[in-house]
Amino acid sequence: MKLILLPYAGGSKNSYRAFESIKSHNIEFITPELPGRGTRIGQAPLLSIQGMAKDVLEQVQHLISEPYAIFGHSMGALVAYELCKLLIEQERVLPVRAIFSANGAPYLSRPNRKISQLPDQEFFHSLKGYSGLPEELIRNPKAFHLFSSYIRSDFKAVETYRYYKSLPLPIPLSVLIGSDDYVTPGMAYAWSKETRKDFDVQVFTGDHFYIFSNKDLLIKYFEQKLFTY
């Protein structure tokens, strides 16, 4: 089973390196790289969630002729949702399950605070508590400046995301959240309107980035959920 992992704002394919170090005999992790970072550092970052979904589809389209699933964390949950809609629109093979993490349903209102519009220094300081970025970037303003373009673009994509109502997905959905995150259980259960298949919510101990303190439990959850379709 292939599991496509989509990153949070400011993340890259390396963000899930810790998952790949945990042996799973049943799951192969696929980590697409969005423009503006990592191996695509020289390319202009994308400014919309829908654009990111299209980019991801171009990268994985040769992999989806066999059973696969999609996981997206935070920003990645919105990208995963739009990717599912794109797969349906193009009549592609659908995932056996989509797993949306650390984000409320897409039709809920987005935060009013637009940090992507802040001046450089304020933008840098606003992310000091954002544990998804490498420590060396948060501690070093000069290093942060080198990568701030794609990080700012990611946050802008989330802040300007527009939800377009469509039919519920014919795909089983799971929603995962941290117990101490700002994403509440109510926001998680709101995703149930987006599917006409199996739906569940799972709460893990931790904050918005609970995925890093629950890696083993998360892998076990994947193995349990992805082989019951």
25 has a pLDDT exceeding 80: no
The domain ranges of the chain are: 2-106+162-225
Read off the pLDDT of residues 75-98 as tens digits, 9 standing for 90 and up: 999 999 999 999 999 999 999 999
Q: How far apart are CA 39 and CA 180, in angstroms?
A: 33
Confidence of residue 101 (pLDDT cuts 50, 70, 90): very high
- The pLDDT value given to residue 207: 93
66 has a pLDDT exceeding 90: no
44 contacts 17 by C-beta, under 8 angstroms? no
Phi/psi for 39 (5° steps) reads -70, -10
Tell me which residue has tokens 């420590």.
Answer: 135
Give the residue with greater pLDDT, 15 vs 81. 81
- The pLDDT value given to residue 112: 67
Cβ atoms within 10 Å of 139's Cβ, excluding its own: 10
Residue 15: both structure tokens together? 């963000």
Is this model's pTM higher than 0.85 or not? Answer: yes
Read off the pLDDT of residues 102-142 as tens digits, 9 standing for 90 and up: 999 999 987 667 899 898 888 888 887 676 777 767 777 77
Confidence of residue 229 (pLDDT cuts 50, 70, 90): low
21 contacts 47 by C-beta, under 8 angstroms? no
Give the residue with greater pLDDT, 108 vs 147. 108
Q: How far apart are CA 56 and CA 59, in angstroms?
A: 5
228 has a pLDDT exceeding 80: no
- The pLDDT value given to residue 143: 75
Q: How far apart are CA 109 and CA 166, in angstroms?
A: 17
201 contacts 189 by C-beta, under 8 angstroms? yes
20 has a pLDDT exceeding 70: yes
- The pLDDT value given to residue 100: 98
Burial class (CB in 10 A: 0-12, 13-18, 19+), 187: middle
Which CATH superfamily includes the segment(s) 2-106+162-225? Answer: Alpha/Beta hydrolase fold, catalytic domain (3.40.50.1820)
H/E stretch holding 174 reads: strand 173-178
Read off the pLDDT of residues 164-221 as tens digits, 9 standing for 90 and up: 999 999 999 999 999 999 999 999 999 999 999 999 999 999 999 999 999 999 999 9
Going by the DSSP 8-state scheme, the letter that residue 13 receives in this structure is G
Residue 117: both structure tokens together? 């519009």
Residue 189: both structure tokens together? 């259960």
| Burial per residue of 106-136, b for 16 or more beta-carbon CB atoms within 10 angstroms, e otherwise | beeeeeeeebbebeeeebbeebeebebbbee
